[in-house]
Amino acid sequence: MLNINEIGINAMIHARDHKTPYLIDPWDYLGPKRRKLLDGSWAGLFREHILSELPVHKIASCYTEGFGRPTKEIYAALGALILQQMHDLTDEETVSQFSFNLQWHYALDIPGESDEAKYLCAKTLWTLRQLVAQKGLDRELFTVTTETLAKVFGVDTSRQRIDSVHIRSNMRRLGRICIFSQSIHNFLVNLKRQRRAIFETIEQELIDRYLTEKALGCFSLVKPSESARTLEEVSRDLFSLVERFRGNKQVISLNTFGALLRVLKDQCDVSETGEMTVKTPKEIASSSLQNPSDPDAGYDAHKGQGYQVQVMETYCASSDESIKDRTLNLITHVEVESAHVSDVHALIPALESTKERGLVPREVLADSLYGSDENRQTARELGVEVISPVMGAPKDETLSLADFPQTDKGMIAACPQGHVPVKIKRGKNNAISVGFASEHCGVCPHQKRCPVKPGKKRHYLRCNLKALRIAERRAGEHTPEFKDKYRWRAGIESTMSEMDKTTGIKHLRVRGLSAVGYCARLKAVGVNLFRAARVKRALDALRTVPGTALSGIGAIIWVVKERFLNPGCRFRNIFGQVTENDPYAFSIAA
Please say whether the dihedral angle defined by the alpha carbons of residues 215, 216, 217 and 222, taken in this order, is positive or negative. positive
Closest alpha carbon to 38 in 109, 88, 100:
109
Binder of ligand SF4 out of 14, 47, 72, 440 (CB under 6 A): 440
> At 276, phi and psi to the nearest 5?
-110, 130
The binder of ligand SF4 chosen from 262, 446, 534, 537 (CB under 6 A): 446
Dist CA 213 CA 65 (whole Å): 46
The residue among 324 and 419 lying less far from ligand SF4, judged by its C-beta, is 419
Shortest separation between residue 447's beta carbon and ligand SF4, angstroms: 5
What is the nearest approach in angstroms of ligand SF4 to the Cβ of residue 368?
A: 27
Among 133, 268, 351, 415, binds ligand SF4 (CB under 6 A): 415
Rg of the chain, C-alpha, whole Å: 32
508 binds ligand SF4 (CB under 6 A): no
Measured from the CB of residue 404, what is the shortest distance to ligand SF4 in angstroms? Answer: 8
Q: Please identify, using beta-carbon distances, which residue of 254 and 415 lies nearer to ligand SF4.
A: 415
Considering only residues 99, 148, 190, 417, which one is a binding residue for ligand SF4 as defined by CB under 6 A? Answer: 417
Our CB check for ligand SF4 shows the closer of 347 and 444 to be: 444
The reply on whether position 416 binds ligand SF4 by CB under 6 A is yes
C-alpha span between 521 and 382 (Å, rounded): 24
Q: Rounded to the nearest 5 degrees, what angle is found at the Cα of 214, between the Cα atoms of 209 and 215? A: 15
φ and ψ at residue 365, rounded to 5 degrees: -95, 135
- Assess 491 for contact with ligand SF4 (CB under 6 A): no
Candidates 27-35, 43-51, 196-204, 437-445: pick the segment binding ligand SF4 (CB under 6 A).
437-445
* Interacting span for ligand SF4 (CB under 6 A) from 44-52, 56-64, 220-228, 445-453: 445-453
Site string for ligand SF4, 451-470 (x = CB under 6 A): -x------x-----------
Residues in contact with ligand SF4, counted by CB under 6 A, come to a total of 13
Local structure of residue 390 (DSSP, 8 states): P
Binding residue for ligand SF4 (CB under 6 A) from 57, 303, 419, 469? 419
**Does the protein bind ligand SF4 through residue 447 (CB under 6 A)?**
yes
- The helix (run of H) or strand (run of E) holding residue 100 is helix 91-100
Nearest to 77 by CA among 146, 137, 147: 137
- Any contact of residue 444 with ligand SF4 (CB under 6 A)? yes
Residues from 21 through 60 that contact ligand SF4 (CB under 6 A)? none
State the SS3 of 194-232: HCHHHHCCCCHHHHHHHCCHHHHHHHHHCCHHHHHHHHH
Determine the Cα angle at 23 with ends 19 and 25, to 5°. Answer: 85
Phi/psi region, residue 204 (left: phi>0; alpha: psi -120 to 50; beta: rest), is alpha
Which residues would be at the binding site for ligand SF4 (CB under 6 A)? 415-417, 419, 436, 440-441, 444, 446-447, 450, 452, 459
